Amino acid sequence: MIPCAKFRGCLLAALAGDCLGAQFEFSPRRSSFRTVWLAFDANMRERRRWPLVYTDDTALTRAVCESLVDCRGRVEPASLARSLTDAYFKATDRGYGAAAGGVFEDLRDANFADPFGPAAALFEGRGSYGNGGAMRAAPLGLIGAAAAAAPNAEEVQLATRVTHSNALALAGARLMAAAVRLALRFDGVDVDRLYDSLAAEAAAADTACGLHEGEASSYTSSMRQVKEFLGKHPASSAVDEEARAVAGALGTEVTALRSVPTAIYCALRTLRPSHRVHPLISEWQPPGNQNPSIDEAVSTEQRQQQQRLVDCLTFAVSLGGDTDTIASMAGAIVGAALGADALPASLMLACEASDAVDSLATRLHRVAYSS
């Protein structure tokens, strides 16, 4: 059985990536690793509840979890459409993509009679290739890792089609769910093996969605670039050059193809046993150490895991562009691998609704192993 702590780590780190990254989403200029880190450190030192609000990434991830829990771990498109739409109308100002609101309005107006119709009509019938399906795919990866009857790749596509019908969005969501599912079983050592499994998932997703290898627009070719970057091991002092090169090659856009492989790179980079966290972070003392109201007395090993996760989120946001979404997806993968111990208490205090996300992860885990 996958420990509940891994479900919690995945969803809490996804929340943290969204909340931290939202401050930088589509800033006119990319921020340095140091600038991003100083902002995060200040966020964690605020010592008040929830200074950081979450965006559409978390609102819809929560909605996917709620529907999976209600449907005993299965993807039921009408239930999912209703859950996503409810989340949207609860707060329409959480930074949704330009096409998303219209889909939710149409779904509601037709009383969810055709869960796929409004999304299929977008962009003159081509459907959205935005990353909005991938950004909420982590719970599908969690449930997919558990029971034999849990969602498979086709069900991930069904869940995505409620808002995104373009092949690039469907394949990206499949790959993101697979990344979480595989990260849950990561042995802590063999990143090459994890990469190989992900490259195979990318090839399968490309084939299933009709994307052809060799074309610029395939996940297989992006994953090859991920491998090239993983082979480079640049020094911490060159982190901003690394970020510039990764952002240029893999992308930081609002599209699935130019964000999902980027998030996977951020995660695998961090999970390499040889990865050294940036000195700014390895020297960091969490603020709870000076604040008796937050218990941050942790073991050396746990502190190292926390530094690893924070290093990952800082690097992801320093890429620029779609920072909340890339950091949230990278966080989901690393959090699934490391578990909830990797979340510093001061970070959880800073992120909106961290307690609700935590209990939702526990409910999802219970559902995953109850059938």
86 is in an annotated binding site: no
Among 50, 112, 116, 123, binds ligand F2R (CB under 6 A): 123
- Sole residue written with tokens 């980027």: 262
x/- binding map, residues 140-169, to ligand F2R, per CB under 6 A?
--------------------------x---
Helix intervals (H) in the chain: 4-22, 33-45, 56-70, 77-90, 100-109, 117-121, 138-144, 153-161, 167-183, 191-209, 219-230, 239-250, 260-271, 279-282, 300-318, 323-338, 345-350, 354-368
For position 352 contacting ligand F2R by CB under 6 A, the verdict is: no
Instruction: Return the number of the residue (76 or 322) whose C-beta is nearest Mg ion.
Output: 322
311 is in an annotated binding site: no
262 is in an annotated binding site: no
Tell me 150's DSSP state. Answer: S
Distance of CA 351 to the CA centre of its chain: 15
Identify whether the C-beta of residue 52 lies closer than 8 Å to the C-beta of residue 20.
yes
Q: How far is CA 365 from CA 2, 72, 142, 362, in A?
A: 9, 11, 8, 5
240 is in an annotated binding site: no
Instruction: Return the number of the residue (217 or 225) whose C-beta is nearest ligand F2R.
Output: 217
- Sole residue written with tokens 């937050």: 294
Q: Which residue from 263, 270, 345 is spatially nearest to 311, judged by alpha carbons? A: 270
- Cα gap 71→256, rounded to integer Å: 27
Stretch that binds ligand F2R, among 125-133, 146-154, 217-225, 280-288 (CB under 6 A): 125-133
Instruction: Return the number of the residue (166 or 314) whose C-beta is nearest ligand F2R.
Output: 166
Amino acid of residue 367: V
35 is in an annotated binding site: no
Q: How far is the CB of 178 from ligand F2R (least distance, A)?
A: 19
What's the sign of the alpha-carbon dihedral 36, 41, 43, 44?
positive
For position 116 contacting ligand F2R by CB under 6 A, the verdict is: no
Among 10, 31, 40, 57, binds ligand F2R (CB under 6 A): 57
Among 73, 118, 130, 287, binds ligand F2R (CB under 6 A): 130
Retrieve residue 180's tokens.
Answer: 């979480």
Q: How far is the CB of 297 from Mg ion (least distance, A)?
A: 21
Instruction: Return the number of the residue (277 or 367) whose C-beta is nearest Mg ion.
Output: 367
- Return the exposure string of 66-75: e unless at least 16 CB atoms fall within 10 Å of the residue's CB, then b: bbbbeeebbb
Identify whether the C-beta of residue 320 lies closer than 8 Å to the C-beta of residue 36.
no
Stretch that binds ligand F2R, among 30-38, 42-50, 98-106, 310-318 (CB under 6 A): 98-106
For position 56 contacting ligand F2R by CB under 6 A, the verdict is: yes
Identify whether the C-beta of residue 206 lies closer than 8 Å to the C-beta of residue 167.
no
Among 12, 63, 84, 100, binds ligand F2R (CB under 6 A): 100
Instruction: Return the number of the residue (27 or 371) whose C-beta is nearest ligand F2R.
Output: 27
Among 32, 89, 109, 126, binds ligand F2R (CB under 6 A): 126
Instruction: Return the number of the residue (96 or 186) whose C-beta is nearest ligand F2R.
Output: 96
322 is in an annotated binding site: yes
For position 98 contacting ligand F2R by CB under 6 A, the verdict is: yes
Which chain residues interact with ligand F2R by CB under 6 A? 25-26, 55-57, 95-100, 123, 126, 128-132, 135, 166, 254-255, 322, 324-325
Which residue numbers belong to the known binding site? Answer: 55-57, 322, 324-325
